[in-house]
Structure 1
Amino acid sequence: MVDFIDDHKQQYGVEPICRVLPIAPSTYYRAKELEENPEKRSQRSLHDDFYLNEIKRIWKDSKCRYGARKVWKQLKSEGIHPARCTIERLMRQHGMQGIWRGKGKITTKSRDDQKRADDLVNRNFSAHRPNQLWVADFTYVKTLSGWVYTAFIIDVFARAIVGWKVSNRMNTDMVMAALNQAIADRNNLKDVIHHSDRGVQYLSIRYTDKMADSGVIASVGTSLSQTLCNCNLD
Structure 2
Amino acid sequence: MIAFVDKMRDRFGVELVCRVMRQAEVGFLTARGYRAAKARPASARQLRDELLIAEIVRLHAENYGVYGVRKMHALLRRQGWAIGRDQTGRLMRIAGVHGVKRSKKVFTTKSDPADEKPKDLVQRKFTADAPRRLWVADVTYVATWSGFAYVAFVTDVFSRRIVGWNVASTLKADILPLQALNMAAWAADGNLDGLVHHADHGSNYLAVVYTDRIVELGATPSTGTVGDSFDCQSVSAASRKDEVVLAG
Relative distance call for 1:110 and 1:134 in structure 2 (3 A) is: same
**1:228 positional shift:** 4.0
Q: Distance in 2 between matches of 1:174 and 1:225?
A: 17
Q: 2:6: which partner in 1?
A: none
Q: 1:142: which partner in 2?
A: 143
Q: Distance in 2 between matches of 1:213 and 1:170?
A: 22
**1:180 positional shift:** 0.6
Q: Which amino acid aligns with 1:224?
A: D
CA distances 1:61-105 after superposition (whole Å, capped 9, x unpaired): xxxxxxxx99xx99xx8xxxxxxxxxxxxxxxxxxxxxx945320
**1:216 positional shift:** 1.0
Q: 2:185: which partner in 1?
A: 183
Structure 1 stretches of 4+ with a deviation exceeding 6 A read: none
Relative distance call for 1:116 and 1:225 in structure 2 (3 A) is: closer
Question: Contact 2:133–2:194 at 8 Å: present in 1 too?
Answer: yes
Relative distance call for 1:225 and 1:207 in structure 2 (3 A) is: closer
* 2:228 aligned residue (220, 224, 228): 224
**1:226 positional shift:** 5.4
CA RMSD of aligned residues (A): 2.3
**1:169 positional shift:** 1.0
**1:141 positional shift:** 1.0
Structural mapping, 1:122-201, within 5 Å: 122-172=123-173, 173-187=175-189, 188-201=191-204
- Paired residue total: 141
Q: Distance in 1 between matches of 2:103 and 2:146?
A: 18
Q: Which amino acid aligns with 2:228?
A: L
Q: Normalised by the size of structure 1, how large is the TM-score?
A: 0.56
Question: Contact 1:135–1:227 at 8 Å: present in 2 too?
Answer: no
Unaligned runs of 5+ in 2: 1-66, 79-100, 242-248
**1:225 positional shift:** 6.5
Relative distance call for 1:207 and 1:225 in structure 2 (3 A) is: closer
Question: Contact 1:139–1:150 at 8 Å: present in 2 too?
Answer: yes
Q: Distance in 2 between matches of 1:224 and 1:186?
A: 25
CA distances 1:87-129 after superposition (whole Å, capped 9, x unpaired): xxxxxxxxxxxxx945320110011111010000001001110
Q: Which amino acid aligns with 2:172?
A: N
Question: Contact 1:197–1:224 at 8 Å: present in 2 too?
Answer: yes
Structural mapping, 1:44-193, within 5 Å: 101=102, 103-172=104-173, 173-187=175-189, 188-193=191-196
Q: 1:210: which partner in 2?
A: 213
Question: Contact 2:193–2:219 at 8 Å: present in 1 too?
Answer: yes
CA distances 1:2-51 after superposition (whole Å, capped 9, x unpaired): xxxxxxxxxxxxxxxxxxxxxxxxxxxxxxxxxxxxxxxxxxxxxxxxxx
**1:227 positional shift:** 2.4
Unaligned runs of 5+ in 1: 1-68, 78-99
**1:224 positional shift:** 2.8
Q: Considering only CA atoms, is the larger Rg found in Structure 1 or Structure 2?
A: 2
